[in-house]
Structure 1
Amino acid sequence: MDTSLKGTLHKRGLRMTPQRQLVLDAVRDLGHATPEQVCTRVQATAPAVNITTVYRTLDLLEELGVVRHAHLGHGAPTYSEHQHRHVHLVCHRCGRVDEAPTELLSGVAERTQADLGFRLDATHVALSGTCADCAAEHDAGTPDHEHDENDAAARAVEGDR
């Protein structure tokens, strides 16, 4: 059981429930996960836990600073542990998500702070583009219809993670 989370919950008049621990464990195990993926992982152990409970628990864990979410494109946000800090690089062709150090955006962060007074949270950023593999395939002249089949297969594999 996560004793620090238990203490944080207790200070707020809440208690550590098995469902909360299962949701936190699922986020930790999966690395980046949508609420649906978290729910599937939790239901492997506790089939009675429903998606509403997962959403409420993720919201609470985020409010407590234990997890954070990022929008990696269209669809549901993905959740990770709060200290899981990096910029997400999302390939709009195959759907692959890579990670880069937040320092990659330090120049942008400094500029937005200096010019606009805006403080960038680089850990909440997803950059969309084309991954090296897809760019190489495109440069090699892979016909688009073949790439579409590869895209679908890649997204199916990514969804299984």
Structure 2
Amino acid sequence: MSGSTGERPELASTLRAAGMRVTGTRERVYAVVTEMPHSTPDAIIERVNESGPPVPPSSVYRALEALEEVGVVAHTHLDHRAPTYHRADHARHLHLVCRSCGAVAESPAELAGGLVAALEREHGFAADVTHMAIQGECSTCRS
């Protein structure tokens, strides 16, 4: 399935501006990432295949790579397993992952401003804290 459905003109213009084709697979993958943030590639593949004609896993992975390359999708490593994907225009945030129950919460990235500033000052290192997850225990599990 290729060609634009016209449902996401911002996606189409971004892909074209980067010299990439607008394909049905890219549009379907982007739609799933939009509707299911923090999903693994396997969950995205499953949902894409529920929404229309089957798409090979390799095509979904290539679509995720292309969407990340043009800056509309980003991934985060919440744990040691597969990365999770979300829209890149989703507000910059920290990922807080409970080691006990696996719940994922979001918090504004600005909360880590002191750490980011200290890393820059001490090491000249520009940290992207939105690409990682902070492991701990949620308030529900702590009580």
Q: TM-score, normalised by structure 1?
A: 0.80
**Greater CA drift, 2-11 or 91-100:** 2-11
Structure 2 match to 1:32? 38
Structure 2 match to 1:86? 93
* Structure 1: gaps spanning 5 or more residues: 137-161
**Number of equivalent positions:** 136
Alignment deviations for residues 40-88 of structure 1 (CA, whole Å, 9 cap, x no partner):
1111122421211111100110011010000000211000000222100
State the Cα distance separating 1:12 from its structure 2 match.
3.8
State the Cα distance separating 1:7 from its structure 2 match.
2.2
Structure 2 match to 1:112? 119
Structure 1 match to 2:49? 43
SS, match of residue 36 in structure 1: helix
Q: Distance in 2 between matches of 1:105 and 1:13?
A: 36
Amino acid corresponding to residue 110 of structure 2 in structure 1: E
1:1-161 to structure 2, matched below 5 A, reads 1-84=7-90, 85-136=92-143
For the 8 Å contact 2:97–2:104, the answer to whether it is kept is: yes
Alignment deviations for residues 107-158 of structure 1 (CA, whole Å, 9 cap, x no partner):
000000111111111221210011111111xxxxxxxxxxxxxxxxxxxxxx
Q: Distance in 1 between matches of 2:45 and 2:53?
A: 9
Amino acid corresponding to residue 117 of structure 2 in structure 1: E
For the 8 Å contact 2:18–2:70, the answer to whether it is kept is: no
* Structure 2: gaps spanning 5 or more residues: 1-6
Q: Distance in 1 between matches of 2:16 and 2:64?
A: 17
Structure 1 match to 2:3? none
Q: TM-score, normalised by structure 2?
A: 0.89
Identical amino acids, percent of aligned pairs: 43
Task: State the 4+ residue runs in structure 1 displaced beyond 4 angstroms.
Answer: none
Q: Distance in 1 between matches of 2:53 and 2:71?
A: 27
SS, match of residue 134 in structure 1: helix
Q: Distance in 2 between matches of 1:62 and 1:106?
A: 25
Q: Distance in 2 between matches of 1:135 and 1:52?
A: 41
Structure 2 match to 1:149? none
